[in-house]
Structure 1
Amino acid sequence: MAQDPARGAPPAADARPGDAPRPPGTPKLVGTVWGLLILNTLGSAGARTIVPLPRSLIQLVTMGSLVGAFALALTLNLRLRIRSSSFLFLLTLLLVASVISSAHLESGFGALFRCFRLTLFTGTLWLLGRWWDGGPTFVRHHIRMYFAVLGSVAAGLAISPGAAMPDLYGGRLVGALWPLTPPQIAQYAAVIVGLTVLLVLGHRTDRTSAAVIIVPSLVLLALTHTRTATLGLLVGLALAIGSLVLTSAAARRFFTWAVLCATVAAVGFSSALQTWFLRGQTEENFSNLTGRAKVWDALLAAPRTTAQQWLGVGLGDKSFGGLPIDNSWLAVYNEQGLIGIALVALIILVLGTIALLRPPSLSRACAIYLISYCAIASYTEAGLGDASPYLLHLAVAASLLSAPAAAAPPTAPAAPRRHVPRWARRSEVT
């Protein structure tokens, strides 16, 4: 008899008492939905591509992918079976705050469109939350989809190196087939490298398959010259592997070798590392974070009403005075106010607390890596308050921290009927 995946698979015949219940099956089309969500968050702004793509066409593709993701997720979950999730609950509250702040139209009608986009994004995650079981399923979808994106970047580099590393970006790697900026490429590379390393340590993939992903991703990361993504990769992996050190011999060996290699590299290649890190910038340009600090100071010094201070001006393009904000917390403050900052902080705090309270495991380590990476990257990248790759990273972390669906209780076998002799059935009353 077929088993409803929402109720869990029946226990195996050789299952022992105390074994963890088998997680519910995840439809293959869930990976397609996840890929469409990732396509939606790639954005439409970046360097010039080899074949010029109109921005309206790119926006049509990205928005169409989100509508397709929501429709497909709804098809897979027609009965609207959802699971409780503190992450999705807080994200929904952030959506409500965004709608309230955008209703004043201080940022124009585009704010309402962005609210509609965030609504579809959040609704799709609610529909997919049914299959969040604490396993690595969504980690694998995450790695596959972002590796495909990096494959397009590598293809653009092979076809036209000049377009892929233009002088406009200081010779840093950009997307030549799809408009991607260096920080975007670095973010995708750093995330999948860290997750793949953890899967190897957890014996969930072989080393050959992992090397196929890790080596080219590290090369692309180096070509972007992105400091924040590199720092997020190193610190995130240190925290994630540190959570496994007491229970995993493989994690202890990797941590020891990593520290040894880092020490040798710091001593032997200090000059080359310093040149890569500075990217040819002057000391003044480096100290103000490539001009970001000037935008931040101007944003904080701008006069605001009480409503703007608490609710913001509505969802916008994460810019101030025509310049990118490049800081998640200030972007949220500008668009969703202090209430938005409190909700975003609660999302990271709640996920981090749940991860710390869980016993050591591969799922916990992957969640710690994603949470710490997003926290570090939020200092020089915007996106925590709107539909973005960072919210997808945190959604994967939430799926890793979700408890497995409870298995259906086994049915007790019926007691065998005893044969009663005919003489025993007669009544003794005459």
Structure 2
Amino acid sequence: MDGAAATRAPRTVGVVWGLLVLNTLGSAGAVTIVPLPRSVIQVVTMGALVGAFALALAVNLRLRVRPSAYVLLLSLLVVASVIASVNLEAGLGALFRCARLALFVSTLWLLSRWWDGGLTFVRHHIRMYFFVLGSVAAGLAVSPGAALPDLYGGRLVGALWPLTPPQIGQYAAVIIGLTVLLVLGRRTDRASAVVVIVPSLVLLALTHTRTATLGLIIGLVLAIGSLFLTSAAARRFFGWAVVCATVGAVAFASALQSWFLRGQTEENFSSLTGRAKVWDALLAAPRTTSEQVFGMGLGDKSFGGLPIDNSWLAVYNEQGLIGVTLVAAVVLVLGGVALLRPPSLQRACAIFLISYCGIASYTEAGLGDASPYLLHLAVAASLLAVPAQAAPVPSPDVPRRRTARRAPRRSEVS
């Protein structure tokens, strides 16, 4: 029974990971071709989380988990979130979000049994988000007008599932970066990589998402840099990338500038599309000492009806300085462990994911609640886990020959 369960576990773990991805897609976004009530989407996403936990528990009934500083810090963040939410300043929804976060972290604990420093979860991550991007591409093919609405300035959105341009850009950038690293590490063939990278690059370009693009570029530079001294393929790729980037920047300078500015005015661009005004108002709002330390409870990552779009300020608003400290500890611990590991493909993938999340945290919220960013960091934690040592196989008992005792010599007796 145990052997069969262990054989089925990898496939089931992939299903669990897919359900976690579905749970973190969110319920707010663009208008879809077939209108989907938000209540229906929330039932689907929460049902996916409950299903993920149930499946993870089914394949790990003995509750075998691996020590993980990452999941431990998330568990402490759950406690801080509950303390911040019990006063109900953010309403009953805050306690519901705490329960969701607790179930999310519990599922990660159950999955930690298979965190062995391998690339299993990297492959699950790429497959699941490539499937999500496939639904975006299908929506674009079925209804280009709905997928490129004027409401979002002609940027690509999810026409079948309500996904915003930053979400699509994030998913595309992450799987592009991971696939490039797998190619450099010779863990996938080039044909399969092209199938993933080329469509994802097109979708990323159509989203006009600057944060995802910068996160992809900087994350890959840091990840490939970690392989520079040990991988000839990484050195060749880095050299060709510099040449192509230089030529492209010179030849398409005006087009790149137009894409980067997205038709915004200088004032709108300097205020980060209005984000800075929300940030200033949030920091200037009066708070009690309790609200500063513990926050106001898990909310919808908004302030004054406007999205905060900054992980650190969102955590400060909802989980206080304690939450900010715990999230900072998550990033610093993962980053520190990655730097201490010897050069390897797994280390490079972890550095890419940690770097991307760190860069995106400036203009996107999500590090303090169940989100794709916590899944990215969970993959990084699985890559940095020390492989479990296999238990030694006991040798079969071999009957010993009985040997006649040698009679002691007279000198020995004396």
TM bin (shorter chain)? over 0.9
Is the 2:9–2:59 Cα contact (8 Å) retained in structure 1?
no
SS at structure 2 position matched to 1:382:
coil
Alignment partners' CA distance in 2, 1:112 and 1:419 = 72
Give the corresponding residue for 1:173.
156
Q: How does 1:206-285 map onto structure 2 within 5 Å?
A: 206-285=189-268
* Residue of 320, 343, 353 corresponding to 1:360: 343
Q: CA deviation at 1:418?
A: 2.6
Q: CA deviation at 1:165?
A: 0.2
CA 1:59–1:397: 2 relative to 1, 3 Å: same
* Residue of 316, 334, 358 corresponding to 1:375: 358
SS at structure 2 position matched to 1:27:
helix
Alignment partners' CA distance in 2, 1:192 and 1:172 = 20
Alignment partners' CA distance in 1, 2:324 and 2:402 = 73
Alignment partners' CA distance in 2, 1:175 and 1:27 = 30
Give the corresponding residue for 1:159.
142
More helix by share: 2
* Residue of 347, 364, 368 corresponding to 2:330: 347
Q: CA deviation at 1:83?
A: 0.9
Q: CA deviation at 1:411?
A: 2.4
* Residue of 267, 289, 297 corresponding to 2:272: 289
Give the corresponding residue for 1:193.
176
Q: Deviation digits for residues 206-248 of structure 1, max 9, x if unmatched?
A: 0000000000000000000000000000000000000001011
The root-mean-square deviation of aligned C-alpha atoms, in Å, is 2.0
Q: Deviation digits for residues 386-427 of structure 1, max 9, x if unmatched?
A: 000000000000000001111012324545533658xx899x
Q: CA deviation at 1:331?
A: 0.2
Give the corresponding residue for 1:119.
102
The answer as to 2:304 corresponding to 1:303 is no
Percent of pairs with identical residues: 79
> Could you tell me the TM-score, scaled by structure 1's length?
0.92
Alignment partners' CA distance in 2, 1:3 and 1:74 = 17
SS at structure 2 position matched to 1:326:
coil
Alignment partners' CA distance in 1, 2:403 and 2:288 = 88
Alignment partners' CA distance in 1, 2:211 and 2:125 = 20
Q: Deviation digits for residues 8-34 of structure 1, max 9, x if unmatched?
A: xxxxxxxxxxxxxxxx99521000000
Is the 2:34–2:160 Cα contact (8 Å) retained in structure 1?
yes
The letter of the residue matching 2:324 is: I
Give the corresponding residue for 2:54.
71
CA 1:4–1:352: 2 relative to 1, 3 Å: farther
Alignment partners' CA distance in 1, 2:295 and 2:133 = 35
Alignment partners' CA distance in 2, 1:412 and 1:253 = 48
Q: CA deviation at 1:55?
A: 0.5
* Residue of 85, 99, 111 corresponding to 1:128: 111
Q: How does 1:329-340 map onto structure 2 within 5 Å?
A: 329-340=312-323
Q: How does 1:27-46 map onto structure 2 within 5 Å?
A: 27-46=10-29
How many pairs were matched up? 409
CA 1:72–1:5: 2 relative to 1, 3 Å: closer
The letter of the residue matching 2:370 is: A
CA 1:412–1:106: 2 relative to 1, 3 Å: same
Alignment partners' CA distance in 2, 1:258 and 1:425 = 78
Alignment partners' CA distance in 2, 1:147 and 1:3 = 31
Q: CA deviation at 1:266?
A: 1.0
Unaligned runs of 5+ in 2: 408-414
Q: CA deviation at 1:3?
A: 5.4
The letter of the residue matching 1:29 is: T
SS at structure 2 position matched to 1:60:
helix
Runs of 4+ in structure 1 off by over 6 angstroms are none
The letter of the residue matching 2:384 is: L
Alignment partners' CA distance in 1, 2:305 and 2:177 = 34
Q: Deviation digits for residues 290-310 of structure 1, max 9, x if unmatched?
A: 000000000000000000001
Alignment partners' CA distance in 2, 1:228 and 1:138 = 24
Give the corresponding residue for 1:320.
303
Alignment partners' CA distance in 2, 1:247 and 1:273 = 33
> Could you tell me the TM-score, scaled by structure 2's length?
0.96
Q: Deviation digits for residues 58-98 of structure 1, max 9, x if unmatched?
A: 00000000000001101010011111100001000011000
Unaligned runs of 5+ in 1: 7-23
